[in-house]
Structure 1
Amino acid sequence: MKVVPSARSPLTLPAAVALAVLAVLAMLTAGAPRADAATSVSTIAQALREGPVYVDPGASGQLSPADARALQKKIESADKPLFIAVLPAGYPTEDLFTDLRTATGVTGLYAIRLGELFDARADSSVLPRQAVRNLVDSVEGESDATDPAAQLNDFTDRALANMGGSAPASWSSSGGGGGVSTAGLVTAGVVLLAGGAGAYTLVRRNRRRHAEEQRAALERLRVVVDEDITAFGEELDRLDFHPSEPGADDAMRADYERALDAYDRAKSAMAAANRPEDVRPVTEALEDGRFCLARLAARRERRALPERRPPCFFDPRHGPSATDAAWTPPGGSPREVPVCAADATRLADGRDPVIREVDSDYGRRPYWEAGPAYGPWAGGYFGGGLLPGLLIGTMLGGMMAAPSYGTDYGTGYGDFGGYEGGDVSGADFDAGDFGGFGDGGGLGGGDFGGGDFGGGF
């Protein structure tokens, strides 16, 4: 006869083991990204409001729970508004990014892995359109499309180093972004115990060394900036414009006066510079002055006025750029950079552009390989969020993205800092300000790299 244990009988050993296993599995999966059965955009958006990574049940074979948790932890620890969704092949792409951004309602960088396809979009306050495009290009060109974990980690590492903003408050604090670490407490204790004269001596020594490094960096920059100022003065002389010359009108005289003012501002700002970050206003003035000269030349020659474009990336002394051209730095990924007409022709002919080289610890090098001091100099020429996309993958770009850079050289180097991201905007956002690839490349079809993504944004 079968004996049925009473409700008060103890659990058998197999039953206890089974319950223990279930408890452990529950704990292990508690922090994993949501993978609801429903795959509506609302479901995905809800999951992304709670954490940075969503893996659809239909795409569970693309990214393991362990890889998803590691990716989520990396993003949360960086405290950046990066949202990643892994969806099955065949998921509808029409208006996907726009609808997801609307439903999530948070400014940020949104990346989607769909089958073996990948694309991304971002609010420009978090990452400029060109920078998003360069990031997508870089992982598509270097990552194995059959290894989603590798591709998503590559993209995440590069994006976190270049994007701005902070993680939304709705995310879990498990990433440890705001806690006090044990190492930090131990370090603080050691400093307090050291105390007195020893600590004071150490602080003085560090301050003195830092001041010496800053002075050396400024003197190296001074040589480059003086060359720029001299070159601009020579352009003023070559123009040989006289306000009273025949044919001169008020518009020409205004452009000329503004160019002269820019020249004087640049000289005065450089004379007053005490730190590397003080150089940015100098190159901002020179960039403005060169544009004024370009307008003046067009007026004198009765040509159409030029549009306001950034300087030539390879050497700002070449003046305002004429177009954008594809360029790949050694060991880096392709990107579009603004170039003057002469360098555009050289690149089209398969020749090297004329690159601005400067002094560095390793001899004469292109400015983007010459060290962090050149960040403020480049930032004055390429402000407005343009510089991060141009310098992705270069030595200067990597240095400037480091948290310590702002302390040593200021944040005035082209808007690597100062972003606003992770803010709740709801559906109130400009789709034209939420961009990425946008030129027919990428995932192809619907909302990926074409259609709504390419034309509507």
Structure 2
Amino acid sequence: MKVVSSARNPLLWVAALVLAVLAALPAAGAPRADAATGVSAVAEAPSVSAVAEALRESPVYVDPEASGQLSRADAHALQQQIKHAGKPLFIAVLPAGYPTADLFTDLRTATGVTGAYAIRLGDRFDARADSSVLSRTAVRNLVTSVRAESDARTQLADFTDRALVNMGGSAPASWGTSDHGGGVSQTALITAGVVLAAGGAGAYTLVRRNRRRRAAEQRAALDRLRVVVDEDITAFGEELDRLDFHPAEPGADDAMRADYERALDAYEQAKSAMAAAVRPEDVRGVTEALEDGRFSLALLAARREGRPLPARRPPCFFDPRHGPSVGDATWTPLGGSTREVPVCAADATRLADGRDPVIREVDSDYGRRPYWEAGPAYGPWAGGYFGGGVLPGLLVGTMLGSMMATPSYADDYGAGYGDFGGDVSGADFDSGDFGGFGDGGGGDFGGGGGGDFGGGF
């Protein structure tokens, strides 16, 4: 008997689709869990892990022992507002006796999502945020603006209103979409099944056409990226050629030789990764290797010159080929807002003198443009250099930043570039970069000793 693949037979594809819709009918009629408050069924005060698990499913969590502070209806309203805004704002309402030592850092680690975290604990309130989402100064000002409000509903509503206007980033996909209805009726699902059956064959054809179009666009994007990445690889190779270092030279030690070896390995890794790249998102591994190699050369130079070893910093924003940045400088892109960007020593001097930095320009549909104004294909390239949540804050208001914020971006160019799509870092984040009102850098509340929640101004 000849087996006909459903992928090649539109009628089988439609039948499977209708069966899938009908299979969902019992679930549609079943009672739904109320995720408005994210309340755990645990009678005792839940652990940080339990709170984090609830926040991954819903932006608002109300501890059962603190339910008198915020009603279910008010919590649901906050949840819908945050979901509708699509921002990674997490709110937890906890009882006064909840342990506060390292609470923000532990909660951020357990949740694993780059965002802003606000906690009402008894009658006290504080917040922390990743700097890529909300600056430390902004968090401080927002907390100060609502700290005097004693009513939890008013305080949290005001904080949410103001934070959503100022913060960047996007909500994690695990939140789903805002719930504007009370569930989906069986009649609606049956109707949807009929409609799907009627238009299934046409939809199947459209899907295949869209897949071919997307594949062609990805190939074109990768071809454009190859030019830029090859320039980067060549530039790094030239740096290695100019390097006046020999592992056996007088004064060379094991640390220097290890730095040199890592730089050589990064060069080979970048070449191999680019040769194997088949999609635009594969380019991120290439630029990650180049960034690592340049940092190894910076370490080697410091050791040879007897200088303190440099801290690991992002490369120069204006052109990653300039090497690791030495500090941050204020810069305003054309038509955009002012922001802090990492800069190399040469560009820092140029900006301080009132001159323009040396900007990396690439080919685009509009001629040579700065890479942040050249189109979506350069997202993976930039993401390899500026990963770990750094990229969103740098690109806010630019063409590339706006494109990366669209839902279709990840489908066409890959996800995971520290972009705006609910960046999940897990525990790999700098607690010193997760700040707010106090000086604890995301440790205990208010930066005080072991439970100093919102410890003064």
TM over 0.5: yes
Q: What aligned pairs does 1:266-281 form with structure 2 within 5 A after superposition?
A: 266-281=270-285
Which residue is equivalent to 1:10? none
Unaligned runs of 5+ in 1: 1-30, 34-45, 55-65, 87-94, 123-128, 424-429, 441-446
Indicate yes or no: 2:373 matched with 1:369: yes
Find the aligned partners of 1:347 and 1:181 in 2 and give their Cα distance. 63
**Distance in 2 separating the partners of 1:132 and 1:221:** 28
Tell me, yes or no, if the aligned pair for 1:360 and 1:370 is still in contact at 8 Å: yes
Q: Distance in 2 between matches of 1:253 and 1:409?
A: 38
Do structure 1's residue 162 and structure 2's residue 163 form an aligned pair?
Answer: no
Identity %: 66
Shift of the 136–206 alpha-carbon distance from structure 1 to 2, 3 Å rule, reads: farther
Tell whether the 8 Å contact from 2:88 to 2:422 is kept in structure 1 after alignment: no
DSSP 3-state at the match of 1:162: coil
What is the distance in 1 between the residues matched to 2:368 and 2:418? 23
Residue of structure 2 equivalent to 1:347: 351
Match among 76, 79, 87 for residue 83 of structure 2 = 76
Q: CA deviation at 1:209?
A: 0.9
Cα distance in 2, alignment partners of residues 225 and 431 from structure 1: 29
User: Which residue number in structure 2 is paired with residue 192 of structure 1?
Assistant: 197
What are the within-5 Å matches in structure 2 for residues 6-405 of structure 1?
52=60, 72-77=79-84, 82-83=89-90, 107=111, 109-110=116-117, 120-122=127-129, 129-134=130-135, 137=138, 153=161, 155-156=163-164, 159=167, 161-162=169-170, 164=172, 166-167=174-175, 174=179, 189-196=194-201, 198-405=202-409
The two structures, once aligned, show a CA RMSD in angstroms of 5.3
Distance 1:32 1:194, change over 3 A: closer
Tell me, yes or no, if the aligned pair for 2:87 and 2:167 is still in contact at 8 Å. Answer: no
Counterpart position of 2:41: none
Structure-2 separation of matches of 1:51 and 1:78: 11
Change (3 A) 1:188 1:275: farther
Residue 227 (structure 1) shift: 0.9
Deviation string, structure 1 residues 322-372 (Cα, Å, up to 9, x no partner): 112223333433332221111112222232222212222232222222222
Over 3 Å counting, the alpha-carbon distance change for 1:267 and 1:32 in structure 2 is closer
Cα distance, 1:173–1:303 mapped onto 2, change above 3 Å: closer
What is the rounded CA distance, in whole Å, between the counterparts of 2:197 and 2:283 in structure 1? Answer: 38
Matched AA of 1:330: L
Q: C-alpha displacement at 1:374, in angstroms?
A: 1.2
In structure 2, do the counterparts of structure 1 residues 341 and 160 end up closer, same or farther at CA, with 3 Å as the change threshold?
A: closer
Distance 2:331 2:382 in 1: 18
Please list the CA deviations of residues 424-448 of structure 1 after superposition, one character each: whole Å capped at 9, or x if unmatched. Answer: xxxxxx99578334698xxxxxx88
Aligned residues between the structures: 383
Q: Distance in 1 between matches of 2:239 and 2:371?
A: 22
SS in 2 for 1:308: coil
Change (3 A) 1:325 1:173: closer
TM-score by structure 2 length? Answer: 0.64
- Matches of 1:74 and 1:343 in 2, distance apart? 42
Contact 1:291 1:308 in 2 (8 A): yes
In the alignment, which residue of structure 2 is the partner of 1:412? 416
- AA matched with 1:397: G
- Asked if 1:436 corresponds to 2:435, the answer is yes
CA contact (8 A) 2:316 2:344 kept: yes
Is the contact between residue 298 and residue 305 of structure 1 (CA under 8 Å) also seen in structure 2? yes
- In 2: Cα distance, 1:240 partner to 1:105 partner: 43
In structure 2, distance between residues paired with 1:184 and 1:232: 57
**Which whole-Å CA distance do the structure 2 matches of 1:255 and 1:222 have between them?**
27
Q: 1:67 to 1:299 in 2, by over 3 A?
A: same
Q: CA deviation at 1:205?
A: 1.8
